[in-house]
Structure 1
Amino acid sequence: MLVGDCERIGDEWCWEGRSSVSGDAERDWVAEEITAPTFGQALRRLRDERGFSREYLAYTAGVSASYITALEKGEREKPGRAVVESLLRCLNLMSPLTPSERRHLLELAGLRMTDTPAPGELHAAITPDQHQALVLFAPALAAYVDPCGNVLDANDAWNAALPGLLEDGNVFEWMFGNELARKVQVDWESEARRYVQWLRGTVGRNPDEPVFTDLVNDLGRFPEFRASWSEGGVDFIPPVRTHRLRDPQSGEIREYSVQAGPVYSEIYPDRIILLLCVPI
């Protein structure tokens, strides 16, 4: 029902300025009119907002006007990445696309954003509230990392419990190249093997991103990494697991519940991961 002035007559409310629609009829109308977003609908909206004709968009994107028409009507299969990127470039020329608009059009085409942001770009995308959240998580160990294991930010509890990681800057580099990692991780051998299996799963999920293969090649200088990689095992980071750490000062062994999950980012979806280690 539309918002407006109303008055009560008997047991019913009558809305001024429009005819009454029965509940069943209104539900049928909603079912007919409200549909899930499609690539064609999103493309048409972005094109109309910029005042492009189908012919102009087609010409600048290097496709035919009939193809644009078919896309917008949902009469063609979802386009490939090359076509979508070309359409995005053309739409962006007239009026810049927001990160959400670009992401939405790619996802409606069944594609992912493939540009791999640098750690500095990801760090800049973390909001002040997200930075402050790390402080508030204490005494839990908390950090933001990217899929390559680069540490983007961490609280003091994290830095104290994992000495050397702040300086190394990368979880994998620290795991295999820093003796302090072996000192504080009670189950270093099995944990290192898990890290390799998780990295293999990440590489398989992102086969077109050279940053991951470059990381694997770089880690190959560590014999333990090469040995674990050659085993061929694969796994994916669970949302919750347990982990034991040895206090670097007292030597006391503590058990943690480790939680991992993506942090909201409009610009870089699924690229910033929160690692939270809660003492048990």
Structure 2
Amino acid sequence: MKTQPDQRRELAAFLRSRRERITPDQAGLPHTGRRRTPGLRREELALLAGISATWYTYLEQGRDIRVSDQVLDALATALRLDRYERGHLFQLAGHAAVAVTEEPEPLAAEVAAVPLLLQPCPAYIIGGNYDVLSCNRAADELFPHLTAPANRPANFARWVFLEPAARDVLVDWEIEARGLLARLRTLAGRHPGDPRFTRLVEDLDAGSPDVRAWWPQYDVQARHGGRKRLRLPGRGVVEFAYTAFHLAEQPEQTLVIYSEPETG
């Protein structure tokens, strides 16, 4: 599959960010004196992956070259990528379908009603770019101003980074925010050039110094369930379990349900 310029730039940035994270000691390379840049040199990574240093440099320059599965496998191994990062690498290299659309994500009426049926458990449905597509009253109370933000679309990533109340509600705000940004980075990599993601990232970058600092680190992560500590009015800190379900016909849309774990 032919890659687009935006996609090649993303691939170059991802490779560079991962190369800079690996030390020569970790890679089993001998010390060669003082280094001007962090991590491995391009030629060192190329040697570890068994490819030409010049050819690898072309990749980091964003040139329009075709990359084989074997080369991607070798780079993933040399860069010590986990399975999510490896999948992200393959997608950026054009080994997965890329969809670009400006249309709103469709949500069937019967699907939009599901969070309402789950009341009083907080529940919402988010789109591929974290737009809040449906939300029940309990979730709206749990996350103040989530669906009625001032001068911006209802979007969970915008809420976390741009809504002042988020830092009070999310007890472990930095951990939660970093994880969300890594998941957004993964999803954005599947849709290079998609204006929904472009506008969202631009908004977050403009409004959040944390996004400006963390986005270049290029963390990627898959959506998942887990536990969250939330601060509630009149109750203090409460730990919630949350579960994420991907919709069958729209796999990037996710139903998220919160519940308080039973004690005893």
Q: Could you tell me whether the CA contact under 8 Å between 2:100 and 2:193 is conserved in 1?
A: no
Question: What's 2:39 paired with?
Answer: none
TM-score (norm 2): 0.56
**Number of residue pairs matched by the alignment:** 162
The reply to whether residue 155 of structure 1 matches residue 136 of structure 2 is yes
Question: What's 2:172 paired with?
Answer: 187
The reply to whether residue 140 of structure 1 matches residue 124 of structure 2 is no
What SS is found at the alignment partner of 1:176?
helix
| Structure 1: unaligned runs, 5 residues or longer | 1-109
Higher-RCO chain (CA-CA 8 Å, sequence separation at least 6) = 2
Q: Which amino acid aligns with 2:212?
A: R
The reply to whether residue 234 of structure 1 matches residue 220 of structure 2 is yes
What SS is found at the alignment partner of 1:116?
coil
In the alignment, which of 266, 269, 272 is matched to residue 253 of structure 2?
Answer: 272
What SS is found at the alignment partner of 1:166?
coil
Pairing of 1:2-17 with structure 2 (within 5 A)? none
What SS is found at the alignment partner of 2:114?
helix
* Offset of residue 188 of structure 1: 0.6
TM-score (norm 1): 0.53
Which structure is larger by alpha-carbon Rg, 1 or 2?
Answer: 1
Question: What's 1:73 paired with?
Answer: none
What SS is found at the alignment partner of 2:245?
strand
CA RMSD of aligned residues (A): 2.1
State the distance in 2 between where 1:136 and 1:118 align. 27
State the distance in 1 between where 2:118 and 2:97 align. 31
Task: State percent identity of aligned pairs.
Answer: 30
The reply to whether residue 261 of structure 1 matches residue 261 of structure 2 is no
State the distance in 1 between where 2:98 and 2:183 align. 21
Q: Which amino acid aligns with 2:143?
A: L
The reply to whether residue 127 of structure 1 matches residue 109 of structure 2 is yes
What SS is found at the alignment partner of 1:275?
strand
| Structure 2: unaligned runs, 5 residues or longer | 1-94
* Offset of residue 226 of structure 1: 0.9
Question: For 1:125-158, what per-residue CA distance to the aligned partner results, in whole angstroms no more than 9, with x for missing partners?
Answer: 3233x33321232222100110111101101100
State the distance in 2 between where 1:201 and 1:148 align. 10
* Offset of residue 245 of structure 1: 0.9
> In the superposition, relative to structure 1, how do residues 113 and 200 fare at CA in structure 2: closer, same or farther (>3 Å)?
closer
Q: Which amino acid aligns with 1:259?
A: T
The reply to whether residue 250 of structure 1 matches residue 231 of structure 2 is no
What SS is found at the alignment partner of 2:228?
strand
> In the superposition, relative to structure 1, how do residues 189 and 251 fare at CA in structure 2: closer, same or farther (>3 Å)?
farther
Question: For 1:109-132, what per-residue CA distance to the aligned partner results, in whole angstroms no more than 9, with x for missing partners?
Answer: x9758253644x52xx3233x333
Q: Which amino acid aligns with 1:144?
A: I
> In the superposition, relative to structure 1, how do residues 234 and 179 fare at CA in structure 2: closer, same or farther (>3 Å)?
same
What SS is found at the alignment partner of 1:165?
coil
